[in-house]
Amino acid sequence: MKFEVKNITKSFGEKQVLNGVSFETQSGSALGILGRNGAGKTTTIRIIMQVFNANIGEVLLDGKPLDTSKVNIGYMPEERGLYPKKQIMEQLLYFAALKGIRASEAKANAKRLLERLEMTEYTNAKLNTLSKGNQQKIQLVATLICNPDIVILDEPFSGLDPVNAILLKDIVKEMITDGKIVLFSSHQMNYIEEFCDDIVILNQGKVAVSGSIKEIKRGYDRKKIYVSSQNIKAINEFVSSNISHLVKNISEQGDGLLIELNAAQDKSQVLKALADCSVDIDEFKVYEPSLNDIFVDYTEGGI
């Protein structure tokens, strides 16, 4: 299945929240929607879920407009919430029934998911007796109980401890292997980088960049060099005094130096110069930007 968001524009009153947002993904891959607070991530997701209607634009599944009542979609809203005073199993079955899932199937799914998330002991507990993180896991069960083809998770990692985050990560990976379309928004770049092939970075309601992470990274000029050494200071001095005409900027990062060159083709010159210097060098490589760098790069100055 191919999932497309085409040219979505949305304004609330005077305020333009989304302006021509487009992206696409398909079965068996995960798409991460990134953006700073207020960039329009949740609004985009809510438009996909038809909580709001877009002013212009459309959401397509295999080329046809997406009908949320016909396609099985598992949605975990950013505003988490279930019935605090009801038993967990009772409300899980209710949400499944709303999606049109047969009671026997819903029960089996609920059991399986509760077990997978190590929550079986709370089957008959009331939701408000659980900790926040555990309530979030129940929310995930409610999202996945309908065995959805499309899974949309709005900030799924917020509020989870590292162990639970790994659990969720594994579940998301399983869903990708199962050939589902997974869409989620997050601030946690490390998780996104781990299992998203594609990302969309939103900034002020517009798509700042979208596509596969690898290609976005490749698209960056390869003019940053990372040099690590036991004696960074000496290298720093060497660079500043001998090849400063090639260098635009120099900064320390971890055990090494990040050297930004004026031009990418000067790399070999720098390598030669450093090879001849007396300081011991551990590592010399072209610096690949992290997702974090990309994110900051595209969203800085916005909002």
Question: Would you tell me which residues interact with another protein (CB under 8 A)?
Answer: 46, 49-53, 68-69, 73, 75, 77, 79-84, 86, 94-95, 97-100, 142
In whole angstroms, the minimum distance from the beta carbon of 48 to another protein comes to 10
Rounded least distance, CB 50 to another protein, Å: 7
DSSP character string of 122-134 = GTTSBGGGS-HHH
Q: How far is the CB of 84 from another protein (least distance, A)?
A: 5
In angstroms, rounded to a whole number, what is the distance separating the alpha carbons of residues 59 and 50? Answer: 10
Q: What is the DSSP-derived secondary structure letter of residue 180?
A: -
Determine phi and psi for 241, rounding to 5 degrees: -90, -30
User: Smallest gap, in angstroms, from Cβ of residue 126 to another protein?
Assistant: 12
Give 58's Cβ-side CA count (13 Å radius). Answer: 8
How far apart are the C-alpha atoms of 22 and 31, rounded to whole Å? 13
Rounded Cα distance, 228 and 213, in Å: 25
Q: Which is nearer to another protein, 69 or 268 (CB)?
A: 69
DSSP 100: T
State which amino acid sits at residue 62: D
Judged by beta carbon, residue 155 or residue 198, the one nearer another protein is: 155
Q: How far is the CB of 91 from another protein (least distance, A)?
A: 8
Distance in Å, CB of 65 to another protein, minimum: 12
Would you say 11 or 242 has its CB closer to another protein?
Answer: 11
Both tokens assigned to 114: 């509760």
Q: Which is nearer to another protein, 142 or 227 (CB)?
A: 142
Decide whether 58 or 193 has the Cβ nearer to another protein: 58
- For another protein, the closer of residues 120 and 128 by Cβ is 128
Q: 100 vs 179, which CB is nearer to another protein?
A: 100
We find the least distance from the C-beta atom of residue 53 to another protein, in angstroms, to be 6
As a whole number of angstroms, the distance between CA 134 and CA 117 comes to 9
Q: Which of 237, 85, 73 is nearest to 148 (CA)?
A: 73
CA distance 251 to 260: 9
Q: In the complex with another protein, which residue's Cβ is closer, 94 or 220?
A: 94
| Gyration radius from the chain CA atoms | 24
> Which residue is listed with tokens 């877009």?
54
Distance CA(67)–CA(140), nearest Å, equals: 22
Q: Which pair of structure tokens corresponds to residue 239?
A: 């660079």
Min dist CB 135 to another protein, Å, is 11
Q: Which helix (H) or strand (E) holds 57?
A: strand 56-61
